[in-house]
Structures are given as C-alpha cells and as structure tokens.
Amino acid sequence: MHGLVNRSLQSFLRDTYGAPLWDQVAEASGAPAEGFEAMFSYDDGLTDRLLDSAVGMLAKPRDALLEDLGMFLVSLEPLRRLLRFSGVNYVDFLHSLDELPERARLAVAEIGLPELALVPREGEGFLVEVGPGHPGFVPVFAGILRAMADDYGAFAVVDIADPRAAPNTIRVDLLEPQFASGRRFDLGRPEVR
Amino acid sequence: MNAKPLQDAALIGADALGRLMPMYLWITPTGLIRAVGPTLVKLCGSAPLVGDRFLDRFQVDRPRGLYSMADVQALAGQRIHLSLRSGPGTSLRGQTQPLGGGQGWLLNLSFGISVAEAVRDHRLTNADFAPTDLTVELLFLTEVKAAVMGELAALNARLKRAHDEAEARALTDALTGLANRRALDAELARDCALAARGGAPFALMHLDLDFFKTVNDTFGHAAGDAVLVEAARRLRGQTRAGDTVARVGGDEFVLILRGEADADTAAEVAARIIGELERPIPFDGRPCRISASVGVALSGRSPAPGRMQAEADAATYAAKRGGRGRCVVG
C-alpha cells in the first residue's frame, strides 16, 4: 500500500483518538514507531493489520471507521482543495469522479486508487461503482463523497449499497443539489508566506 | 481547395461566442472594441472595454513595434503576447483572425504561464474558463506538485539527518566519544596523501595505558570505564582542536598531531600527556592510578600509513619494555 494511504490512517487515528491510541495500534500491528513515510511503499498486509488493531481497540465497525477516515481526509484543507478542483458544484463533482483516480495519478503516479464509475439512477440519485482494489476503499470513498456534499452545500444521503445486491457500490441520494452555500473555494491558492 | 473564404461562414451571437471563448475580443475595422467575452470583462473590472480603442487598452509585448491596427492585422494567425495597460498588468497571449463581411477582427486570448497569479489577482473561478480549457488542470497540477515537492523535501531532510547520525555513530567510539579505528584510518590515509603531496607534516602518536588492567581487576569494570572516559577527556585537553584523538582498542589510543615535525617537541608533548594521565583519577572516592607508554612516528620523508603505524607500534613496545610511563620516538 502506498505510504500516503498508511500515513492518512496514521494521521486520522492520531488526530481523532490521540497519540496513545496510535502508539498502541502501531505497536500491535508492527507499524514503524516513527510513523509512515508518505513517499514510500509498504506491504499491504501491514495496512490490514493496522486496521484490524484499530477496529479491535476502538470496538468500532470497520466500515464506520473507514467512512470516518474519508470524512477526515476532506477536513484536511490541501486535500479538500484538490478535490474541489474536480467540479464547480456537487453534481459536476460526481460526474467527474471517473477522472479522480487519474488526477490522483497525476499527483502521485504509484498511488493505486481503484477506478470509479458514476451510474445515474432513476430520480435524483447516483450509484458510484468502485473498481477492483483494496475493499477498504469503498467506505473511504463513501466518507469522502458524504463530506464533499457538505463542502459544496448539497444535501445528499451517501451510504454503502447492500453488498449482496450491489457489491463495491456507493449510493448517493441527492435531495437538494444546492441546499446551502457550502464552503468557500478559490481557484488561486491563498498566498503562502 | 479554392474554397471561397466566406463559403461556410457561421453566424454566432456574442453571448454564445463568449461561452466558447470567454476571453475573446471583437475589434471593428477602425480598431474599436465592439464586444468582449465574460472573463475579459471580469479582468477589466470597473473600466469596461467596449467602445475603447483596442491599442489604448492593450499593449502588444511581442512581437514588438506594433502601433497600428494594420500591424496587428498583419499578424493574423500568429501568437502574440499582450498585457492590459490597467490593473496588475496581467500578461496574456492570443491570436487574431479576420471576420468576414468587413466586421473587423476576432482576437482570442488566454493567460500565459503566470496563470496562477492572474487567477488569484482577478479571483477567477472554474466558471470563468471554457470547459475545454485545461487551465484548471494546470492549477491543480501546480498545487499538487508543490505539495509533493514539500513532502519530498521533508523526507530528504529526515534521511539526511538519519544519514549524518549514522555516519557519526560509525566513526565514533561510543564510550568516550573519541574517533574510532575507522575514522582514524580514514584521517591517517588522508593526512599521508596530503603530506606526500607537500602538505603539512604531522606526528602519529600511539599510546597504551599502563596499569589499566590493575584498575579494572581491583575496582571493577565501572571504574575501568570511568578511567577511560577521564583519560579521553585529558587527552583532548592536551591536544589542539585540529588534532585527532582516537580510541582504537580497549586501552589503546592514537593521536594525530598536525603540524608536528620535530622529534623533540613531539617527545615534550608526550611527556606532558603522560604527566596529565598520571594524576590520580578518583572513582567512588578512591584514586585510580594509571600511566601511559607512548610511541611516536613522524610523517617525515615517507608519509605512509603502514610504515607510520608499524613504527609507532614498535616505539610503544620499546617504551613499555623500557619501564612504562615513557615515550620513544621511532
């Protein structure tokens, strides 16, 4: 798994549940004590062990934890900005989801995100089909899509579809495309320094 | 291929044209601005362009020397670089094409390489760019590149620090903090090479502690370690900043005294060091007494590490045999 993914998990666990919890999870799973390097690659098994120990220690369902991770990612301003480049409003954003893995590859060639496909449903809804890859990506993307609806000011219900009916699929029920003004986004990055 | 220029002329409204090309200008045959795309309107803020003379509002930066509309017209189809005469001087690039029916020219503009500043200066949004325009992707890439480069720079700094620490550990004796055998070998090789090429002479001093085993056997290893640490401190105190002091074995030290070419002064330094080491070293309230046997080799006419080390070793052996606590210059 790419270091960025592992580091995301690390930041999420540490920022949300505190450093002691992260230290315990790292120790139990054999993660590097000094933390993950974002630009390295790690064995997939390590990511799974990390997740397993976090799920065990927090007594929280795996999918719920990963959805929270997705929402946490959108709360990081640099990442939120990169996501907002995808579309002018939430519907536009959804329609450009198929470009998202390609955008991620532009940033980090080896990132290895699964493909995403948007399928419009009857009424005001969509299905997002997540392509082959680590199964953990499905709930993470569900969290991202939910948080991005908020960010754009859309009123949407985002859930993982029943895996027996539609495996690796996220349901997006769009109740109101522009419900609130949403969070501000300027194309030009605010001047640093 | 002799199609008449206006054979398939398309009629398009100014609004539709603005959606296709949000930064277009329609310039009349007399050089007045007749219509403007919406993004260009935004760029000019409170000073509308329509009705003004094109060359009053825009400066052609490249090619230089364009002063009349006839000059501009001659460049139809070529890339020209311009800037707005008002505001932050945003630089633009574009090309002109003649319109049919004596309607003047169409000039389509885009931002140059400094698009990021233009977007910031004029608070542009996705909606200000045509859907076919890759400017937003360019901004995305610029931002993502900065983030990745920042991450890589931080990684490099961490690796460099780890490398420096590992290197320092690899060249340092853990107990005393002096240079170790590896560091000494490297420095001796370098000093010999420099001296052989006419660089400064130096003395190699080999030093064996006397009665160290007795201290160890009588007071224990903790006392032995304390004696070694204190001996190292005194050795450093008796040498100059540019000299090297290394611990190369249990109770063996080697010193490189740079600039030292004379047997007599080397012997004086050795005598001073021996005197310093013979001052009792207190441990747990009891005095530990040691001395040192010293052998010196001078770089002289043949500065070679092997020769000098063998000579210093032999001299130390001679000093020990001669009754300890003394120095022999080889």
More confident residue, A67 or A124: A67
Pairing mode, strands B244-247 and B281-283: unpaired
* Cβ proximity of B211 and B290 under 8 Å: yes
Q: Is residue B251 among the annotated active site residues?
A: yes
Could you tell me the pLDDT band of residue A154, with boundaries at 50, 70 and 90? very high
Mean pLDDT of A142-162: 96
Q: Residues of B near A (CB-CB distance < 8 A)?
A: 116-117, 119-121, 123-127, 136-137, 139-141, 143-145, 147-148, 151-152, 155, 158
| Cα–Cα distance for residue pair B193/B185, rounded to 1 Å | 12
- In this prediction, residue A184 carries a pLDDT of 87
Over the stretch A45-100, which tens digit does the pLDDT of each residue have? 999 999 999 999 999 999 999 999 999 999 999 899 999 988 889 999 999 999 99
Residue positions counted in chain A: 193
Which residues does chain B have with pLDDT short of 70?
A: 1-7
Q: Cα(A36)–Cα(A43) distance, rounded to whole angstroms?
A: 12
Nearest C-alpha neighbor of B244 from the set B214, B286, B203: B203
Q: In angstroms, what separates the C-alpha of B94 from chain A's closest C-alpha?
A: 22
Q: How far is CA B192 from the centre of its chain?
A: 31
Residue of B126, B128, B134 best to disrupt the A interface, most CBs of A under 10 A: B126
Nearest CA in chain A to B153: A39
Q: What burial class does residue A170 get, using C-beta atoms within 10 Å of its C-beta: 0-12 exposed, 13-18 middle, 19+ buried?
A: buried
Distances (CA, A) of B216 to A148, B206, B254: 71, 21, 21
What pLDDT digit, counting tens, does each position of A21-49 carry?
999 999 999 998 888 998 888 998 999 99
- ipTM exceeding 0.85, yes/no: no
- pLDDT confidence of residue A191: 60
User: What confidence category does residue A112 fall into, taking pLDDT thresholds of 50, 70 and 90?
Assistant: confident
Please give the mean pLDDT across all residues of chain A. 92
- Which chain A residues have any C-beta within 8 angstroms of a chain B C-beta? 37-39, 78, 81-82, 85, 87-88, 103, 106-108, 186-189, 191
CB spacing of A107 vs B147 below 8 angstroms? yes
pLDDT of residue B95: 94
Name which of B119, B140, B155 is nearest A82 (Cβ-Cβ). Answer: B140
Specify the pLDDT at position A34. 84
**Pairwise CA distance, residues B31 & B105, whole Å:** 9
| pLDDT at residue B142, rounded to an integer | 86
Nearest to A79 by CA among A5, A25, A29: A5
Length of chain B: 330
Q: Would you say A22 and A78 are in contact if contact means Cβ atoms under 8 Å apart?
A: no
